Amino acid sequence: MADIVLAASGVTRDFDVSRPWLQRILAREPRRTLRAVDGVSFAIPRGTTLSLVGESGCGKSTVARLAVGLYAPSAGDISFEGQALSSARAQPALRRKMNMIFQDPYASLNPRWRVRDIVAEPIRAFALLRSEKDIADRVAQLLTQVGLAGADGEKFPHEFSGGQRQRISIARALSSEPDFLVCDEPTSALDVSVQAQILNLMRDLQQRFGLTYLFISHNLAVVRHMSDRLGVMYLGRIVELGDGETLFRAARHPYLRLLLEAIPDLAMVGRARTPVGGEVPSPIDPPPGCPFHPRCPLANDRCRAEKPAHVVADGVEIACHAVEEGRA
């Protein structure tokens, strides 16, 4: 059995979005709950990348925060290296093995701190090194590893471009010597040419240090470059999960098929495409049955009434009545 770094089983996360108590009493309204994540399960073997994709609001960033313990699950279990995540985070030796790279590199960096202090903060927090000289040498080494100069540690974040700031964020994430990184849209705020540089850097670091990634993105081209396994999310659920290349070559769920149709491709010029129609339903008031049925061209009465269960076919886990019945 592969060495599993992170495993989630039936994870659900609810948020109370009710109006203040007095307003609800006067308006005679019940409490309102938003289910951001609904029964998500997956496992990430060591040294591999699992990517989660989907439209905005599908719950993938909530999964990212659940994976590092920033949110506690409302139901279900998450384990890190064989221990419950809450227990692992209570142990500094395990807590330092997980880290996160955020979407906005500028918002995640303290504008009043020099880069050397930003990168050195996890080293000091986990007491990985004691001597200030050793810490300074380690910071310079980390900055060099991500393509910056050691002397850049004297600068402030506003003195760097967006791509350089994201390199600083990666250096900070690596400074605690982690095994597992959650990457929440790490390139979406960057130019396309800079995105390629950051993605190649992350692939190189993964190969050099044996890192394990949970990669969150809405860009399927980026995901194809990064992923070993791919999970497709819709309205809080993973609707298709399997080997990345297998899903790109032979997508079966209607939602993933429509997403792949939207990828720009010169080879498809002149060919009729079917865009994803309609709007994403509100997670506060999701539709009955399959949540994708209002937008699905293959929906039938069963889809409108019964939520599909996950089934495994040819190594791919999928939740779709049309696939189960052979209509897809």
What is the average pLDDT across 285-295? 91
Name the pairing type of β-strands 49-53 and 33-45: unpaired
Distance, CA of 20 to chain centre: 32
CB atoms under 10 Å from CB of 25, counted, come to 10
Domain boundaries, the chain: 4-97+178-324
Give the pLDDT score at 279: 78
SS3 content of the chain, % helix, strand, coil (to 5): 40, 20, 40
Strand segments (E) across 167-310: 180-184, 212-216, 229-234, 237-243
Average pLDDT, the chain: 90
Residue entry with tokens 């889809």? 303
Using pLDDT thresholds of 50, 70 and 90, give the confidence band for residue 2.
Answer: low
Q: What pLDDT was estimated at residue 321? A: 93
Average pLDDT (200-229) is 91
Rounded Cα distance, 144 and 152, in Å: 10
- Mean pLDDT, rounded, for 4-11: 96
Residues 6 or more apart from 183 whose CB is under 8 A from it? 100, 101, 202, 213, 214, 215, 216
Query: 120-124, 180-184, 191-195, 263-267: which range is least confident on average?
Result: 263-267
Dump pLDDT digits (tens) for 87-96.
999 999 999 9
| Cβ neighbours for 81, distance < 8 A, ≥ 6 positions apart | 5, 88, 94, 97, 179
For residue 274, pLDDT beyond 80: no
pLDDT above 70 for 267 = no
Q: What pLDDT digit, counting tens, does each position of 29-80 carry?
A: 899 999 999 999 999 999 999 999 998 889 999 999 999 999 999 999 999 9
- Residue 1: exposure state from Cβ atoms within 10 A (0-12, 13-18, ≥19): exposed
**Banded model confidence at residue 166, pLDDT cuts 50, 70, 90:** very high
How confident is the model over 98-144, as pLDDT tens digits? 999 988 888 889 999 999 999 999 999 999 999 999 999 999 999 99
Is residue 18 pLDDT above 70, yes or no?
Answer: yes
Please report where in the chains the tokens 């990345």 appear, as a residue: 244
Q: Which two tokens stand for residue 105?
A: 């590199």
pLDDT given for residue 110 in this prediction: 92
Indicate the pLDDT class of residue 262, thresholds 50, 70 and 90.
Answer: confident
pTM strictly above 0.75: yes
What pLDDT score was predicted for residue 1? 45
Mean pLDDT of 240-249: 93
Percent above pLDDT 90 for the chain: 69
Return the CATH fold of 4-97+178-324. Rossmann fold (3.40.50)
